Structure 1
Amino acid sequence: MSGAAAALLLCGCSAGATEKAAESGAKASGSPTPSASASGKVSAEGAEPSATPSATPFEADPDRVPRSRKQGATLASAVVMRPQDWGSGFEAQPLARSAENTIAVLDEECRWQRRPLPKDVLASLSLYSELPGTGKRGTVKVTAAVTVHATVLGADDELSGTVEEALRCPEQQVRADERIAELNSMGTPFGLRGNNYADDSVYETGTYLTGGDKAPYRWMVTRLGQVTVAVSLKAADGYTASELEQYVTRGTTTMLDRVRYELGGGEG
């Protein structure tokens, strides 16, 4: 991905957004649907709904497209961000990775749960990393998630559902004492607002609540073909907005580049 594309990645998607973060492990989102916010309003900036996914110049090599759960798991493992990929000082969180053969699902009561993989998902993997606090800086926590669908349409459907989830659940339970609230969501299909890096993209902001503490939260999910990659970030005191955006950009662009490499895709 070019440097210009990386810069546009967050500039285009965060327009009008506040801040949000969470452990959105294997969430996926961002199909050709209108943007939406947690207030229940649909943004006029979003694209009109489409029966088929938008297409970037990326084309996967058919011989390298995963077709089994074993192949999907191998791809997810090759793409996902590990602690050392985020930068100096990052390490694995105590809970370092998601349970095997599960995916994150927002249930009817707006609680995030790990559930068995549905038949149309080949693999889903989330790795949890953190940058321990030092001095006046707190601990930044990040999640990298990769979901490999059996089909492109399956990945597109999952992406489109993410914007709807912010409307359905403006406050979401992550763990017993952790919630995300004040959610705002923006979908950006390929070709809009500087998105020249993925078939689809969704950027969310909000507030991460832990007991009585509040922290900015950001989450971005993007799709290339049948693969979605997601980065979520729980901010901490002592960091500027631009410093935090660097991590979201780094995680997203690195994983998208790895998808291109692993699937042997070319750009026209």
Structure 2
Amino acid sequence: MGRSGGHGHGYGHGYGHGRRGVLRAGCSLAAGLLVLTGCTSGGTPRGGADGSARPSAPAAPSPSGTAGTGTTGAGGSPAPLVPELDEQRQPRNRAEARALLDRIVIDQDVFGPDVQRSAPFESDPGSWPVLGRDCVWRTEGLPPDVLATSTRQFHVPAADGRGRVRIHATVTVHRTREESGWETAHAMEEVLRCPNQVLRAGEELKGLWGASLYRGEQLNGWSEDAFSESGTWVGEGSGGPGQYRWSQGQFGPVTVAVAGRGPAGFAEDALVALVVQGTGRMMYRAGQALGKGPR
């Protein structure tokens, strides 16, 4: 899920509180992007953006800006995928947060030639989706802890008798690392509270489950805190029950997320590949912008 006009399911999580330890998934699933990929034993998803068999991005970004397991440092040890946060680089006001956000957001070229911009392309930067007690998504103003947020909408055009594939990529800049952590915690709470959710009239997510793991738990080596979510999407253009996938990562005060909704007939692994590629690239950019070291 996510936030701001397209976060999360393409609409997003709301904002709230709860005891973080209670909200975390005590799961045996692999963490973060590795939960999401459904990989073969070699780590490569079985389908590309067009449903064909071709490699997609592995689970985490490398220092080159592409996905991978990290470069090899001195003594043959892999370089850390998550750099140390440089607190001096954290934004102090909305203008600085917007400038940071602009360094992290992605365009359609990140996903490959099959993906195009949708219309509208960008969400209202002053809006924030909130999941009501009735499990229906609504839009409100930004909560006090959010300095800036942006959601961009993309799609793979309808073809071969199936509908469009919908992709939403979101970046949110909070005031502090603690506040961005609460966003991930609340994402987990929403899944537990509402496994079935209404995005809008006639469009729903069903059977949602999620996993949230800190860095170092299970296989999460790509994010300070990782959240992934899966379920079924039903709505106009879905052609019947389709796939829904969501992945979110955190670095310092920033959260990044990609949601994908694939219609019936679109390969699950192909949808996963798109979500992995977008999330990995934005996490790498967040680390470059806020991590210690040269800019």
Matched, 1:70 2:95: yes
CA separation of 1:72/1:149 partners in 2, compared to 1, >3 Å: closer, same or farther?
A: same
Partner of 1:23: 10
Partner of 2:253: 226
Aligned length: 232
CA distance in 1, matches of 2:106, 2:139: 20
For 2:248, give the aligned amino acid.
V
Partner of 1:265: 292
CA separation of 1:265/1:141 partners in 2, compared to 1, >3 Å: closer, same or farther?
A: farther
1:105 to 107, 130, 139: 130
Partner of 1:10: none
CA distance in 1, matches of 2:106, 2:23: 27
For 1:254, give the aligned amino acid.
R
Contact 1:32-1:200 within 8 A present in 2 as well: no
Contact 2:13-2:186 within 8 A present in 1 as well: no
Alpha-carbon offset, residue 28 of structure 1: 8.4
Partner of 1:201: 226
Q: TM-score, normalised by structure 2?
A: 0.71
Cα deviation, 1:30-50, whole Å, max 9, x if unaligned, reads x964677xxxxx64549xxxx
CA distance in 1, matches of 2:13, 2:179: 14
Matched, 1:256 2:243: no
Query: Which ranges of structure 1 fall in alignment gaps of 5 or more residues?
Result: 1-20, 37-41, 47-55
For 1:82, give the aligned amino acid.
D
Partner of 2:244: 217
Contact 2:125-2:150 within 8 A present in 1 as well: yes
Contact 2:165-2:262 within 8 A present in 1 as well: yes
Partner of 1:50: none
Q: Which has the higher strand share?
A: 1
Matched, 1:174 2:161: no
Partner of 2:172: 147
Alpha-carbon offset, residue 176 of structure 1: 1.7
CA separation of 1:240/1:172 partners in 2, compared to 1, >3 Å: closer, same or farther?
A: same
1:241 to 268, 276, 279: 268
Question: What does 1:17-56 align with in structure 2 at a 5 Å threshold?
Answer: 22-25=9-12, 33=21, 43=26, 45=28
For 1:146, give the aligned amino acid.
V
Alpha-carbon offset, residue 222 of structure 1: 1.0
For 1:246, give the aligned amino acid.
A
Partner of 1:85: 110
CA distance in 1, matches of 2:246, 2:290: 25
Contact 2:15-2:130 within 8 A present in 1 as well: no
Contact 2:106-2:169 within 8 A present in 1 as well: yes
Partner of 2:84: 59
Q: Secondary structure at the match of 1:213?
A: coil
Query: Which ranges of structure 2 fall in alignment gaps of 5 or more residues?
Result: 1-7, 30-80
CA distance in 2, matches of 1:189, 1:95: 34
What is the RMSD of the two structures over their aligned residues, measured on CA atoms? 2.7
CA distance in 2, matches of 1:67, 1:221: 23
CA separation of 1:104/1:77 partners in 2, compared to 1, >3 Å: closer, same or farther?
A: farther
For 1:227, give the aligned amino acid.
V
